[in-house]
Amino acid sequence: MAKVTIRVDPRTGMTYFPKGIRQEGFVGKIEGFPNALTFTLIKPGASLADVERSLKIILDDIALRKDQKANANPKMKDGGNPAKLPTRRYPLFAKYSRDWLHEVTGFSKGYLCRVATGKVPLSRSFIERVCLKLGEPKAELFLPDAAQASPRPEGSDAGFS
């Protein structure tokens, strides 16, 4: 999931929402649930069940970010040297080659390499698109212990590294 920065002028209280957020329907009167650390904005017309599902996705993304931060090399300012990082941080890259993933998902090979080495954090859109295109749950593709537990699917070996 991409981070979005919403600017609030401290003097006037005027708030700037990026164009992409406004195009998604966050215009007019927007409800929100504030607490001590976060503020959840709710798209006009969204049901509470939809909000709950959306928050579960956010929590999953936060867990992935925490895991990635824990695996980063703290001595490096960018989180790690690609030459020293493992090339397969996620089971996805142990099961499928980057060339095949490029063909199936449409992500560039360079982007897939940066995700595989941890140079780029996992985003919700990346996870959802990969899971949708491959027809597998995210637990099978993105949790570290799934690589040993998950057998390779039967059929063509064209997509395997």
Q: What is the pLDDT of residues 43-94, one digit of tens each?
A: 889 999 999 998 988 888 888 888 777 776 655 555 554 445 444 567 787 7
Would you state the pLDDT for residue 144? 57
Q: What is the pLDDT of residues 122-160, one digit of tens each?
A: 888 888 888 888 888 877 777 754 334 344 444 444 444
End-to-end distance of the chain based on CA atoms, in angstroms?
27
d(CA 113, CA 88): 9
Instruction: Judge whether residue 106 has pLDDT over 90.
Output: no
Would you state the pLDDT for residue 99? 84
pTM of the model: 0.44
d(CA 67, CA 161): 25
